[in-house]
Amino acid sequence: MSPLPATALPGLAQPLYESIADLPIVSPHGHCDPRWWADDSAFPDPAELLIVPDHYVFRMLYSQGVALRDLGIGVARADRNPRAIFRLFAQHWDTYLGTPSRGWLEHTLYRTLGIDVALGPDTADAVYDQIAAKLATPEFRPRALFERMGIEVLATTDAALDPLEAHEAISASEWTGRIIPTFRPDDVLNPARAGHADNIARLGAMTGENTARYDGFLAAIRSRRAAFRALGATATDHDVPDLMTHWLAPAEIHALHGKAVQGALSNAEALAYYGHMLVEMAQMSADDGMVMQLHAGSRRSTNRALLAEFGPDMGADIPHAVDWVAGLDALLNRVGNDPRLRVLLFTLDESTYARELAPMAGHWPCLRLGPPWWFHDSPNGIRRYFDQVVETAGYWNLAGFNDDTRAFLSIPARHDTWRRGVALHLADQVERGVFDRRDAERLAPLLARDLAKDAYRLED
């Protein structure tokens, strides 16, 4: 018997949930590694699978005083003791109570992996052994899991300089799972990224364009976008720590690009340069039809000692307030009325849901709102999202759900959390008389799957 409690949702939510619980999964944005399906090798040990790469998981232990090295972070894989790491994690299982990580891990363990012992400090070894045994079987190889999870399509996120070899291999294989890349050009567009000038040079080498000149640089980006599209990509993605867009005069952007290739931009110039490049990307999206995703407002690596010792993505990326109206002014006023453009917005500043994002999505034809992102992709976060966006944006200006995860095994768990949230929201709307049950029944699959396909132009 599964240790997962069989909780029925209240009232109408339960039948609405059941009507969408088993729909195929559309995963249009995430960070899984395409090599998993290119190679189809067994996943590594439980610690490597569930703890070491998951900053949701290890940040919480770090906040409770656990040293990152004791969790294998900054330790060569050969020197890690996965069982000891798993025991340390299990000792702190209580600290995840109330967090979505707890819910995702429970779903992953008890449902996706089929573990039949409840995790806790005393059962760490038993659970560890069960997971390890499962991972050794063919049924838990990446391709088999992908199929059993009912994934219709999954998009990875890939740097502009990524040669896309894994995607090529999947495409060339006989396996038919639909896994597509997403074009993420931050490393060549944002001068604040490490190695930016070098990356521009590498982009030139990769595409045969003279990226030291601005027009050659744009041509090189267009070339990479086409290469991504050839492997099925329908979208781009952009991390925007400090949201600001600009449209600079030709002389100005040429001059800035001249400095950029030498790594000589000041901070203010770097912001202006990146702000201009985002508008260029929007123009290219209008031209080539790639859906543009903007993830804005995460202040990266705010713990500089950890950044120096362990690198980025150590759980110290903290959101800050975003001004979407000012930030997108240049982009929207240049391309926002173009009927070919689609831009999906993701925020970590929930105070902008009702104040800025829903009114903007309810006006601009190019905009759709992405689902709750990162810290807010949780039962209460989903409730706050629907509460604050639907009344102004309606449902058809939303982009459905995406799991945005690098933890492949948690994908069913995350979609399940969303689908429960959808059912609870729709049931609440019916109970308060906003619309009737038949409307809710139509909206449920729209929110669970169809809007995501439509928003990302993933038509079959």
Kindly identify the residues of this chain, within the stretch 363-392, that bind a copy of itself according to CB under 8 A: 363-365, 367, 375-376, 378-381, 384, 387-388, 390-392
- Judged by CB under 8 A, the residue of 20, 57, 358, 448 near a copy of itself is 358
Full DSSP string of 46-68: HHHHHTTT-HHHHHHHHHTT--G
Which residues 6+ apart lie within 8 Å of 406 measured at CB?
30, 31, 32, 33, 53, 54
User: Smallest distance, Å, CB 15 to a copy of itself?
Assistant: 16
Burial class, 65, CB count within 10 angstroms (exposed 0-12 / middle 13-18 / buried 19+): exposed
Q: Of 417, 409, 412, which is closest to residue 131 (Cα–Cα)?
A: 409
* CB-nearer residue toward a copy of itself: 78 or 268: 268
Minimum distance, C-beta of residue 250 to a copy of itself, in the bound complex (Å): 21
Q: How many residues bind a copy of itself (CB under 8 A)?
A: 84
| CA atoms within 13 Å, Cβ hemisphere of 122 | 2
Residue from the set 30, 34, 72, 100 that interacts with a copy of itself by CB under 8 A: 100
Stretch that binds a copy of itself, among 16-24, 27-35, 130-138, 317-325 (CB under 8 A): 317-325
Three-class secondary structure of residue 403 per DSSP: coil
Is residue 19 a contact residue for a copy of itself (CB under 8 A)? no
Of residues 323, 441, 450, 454, which one binds a copy of itself by CB under 8 A?
323
4: Cβ–Cβ under 8 A, 6 or more apart, which residues? 106, 107, 110, 111
Residue 58 or 214: the one with the smaller Cβ distance to a copy of itself is 58
Question: Could you say which residues in the range 195-214 bind a copy of itself, by CB under 8 A?
Answer: none
The residue within the footprint of a copy of itself, chosen from 145, 179, 424, 448 (CB under 8 A), is 424
- Our finding on whether 57 is near a copy of itself (CB under 8 A) is no
Strands 343-347 and 318-319 turn out to be unpaired
Q: Based on CB atoms, which residue is closest to a copy of itself, 25 or 328?
A: 328
**Binding residue for a copy of itself, selected from 35, 83, 102, 178, defined by CB under 8 A:** 102
User: Count of residues for the chain?
Assistant: 460
Options 299, 311, 312, 457; binder of a copy of itself; rule CB under 8 A: 299
Report angle CA 183, 291, 216 to the nearest 5 degrees.
50
Choose one: 194-202, 275-283, 286-294, 360-368; the region binding a copy of itself (CB under 8 A): 360-368
Per CB under 8 A, the list member of 22, 94, 139, 147 interacting with a copy of itself is 94
Residue 159: strand pairing partners: 184
337 binds a copy of itself (CB under 8 A): yes
Among 250, 251, 433, 460, contact with a copy of itself (rule: CB under 8 A): 433
Other CB atoms within 10 A of residue 124 CB: 21
Beta carbon of residue 201, minimum distance to a copy of itself (angstroms, whole number): 32
The token pair at 38 is 């290119």
* Amino acid, res. 34: P
**Sole binder of a copy of itself in the list 174, 268, 339, 460 (CB under 8 A):** 339
Contact 292, 300 (CB under 8 A): no
The C-alpha atoms of residue 204 and residue 181 are separated, in whole angstroms, by: 21
* Angstrom distance (rounded) from CA 460 to CA 453: 9
Binding of residue 283 to a copy of itself (CB under 8 A): no
| Site membership for a copy of itself, residue 306 (CB under 8 A) | yes
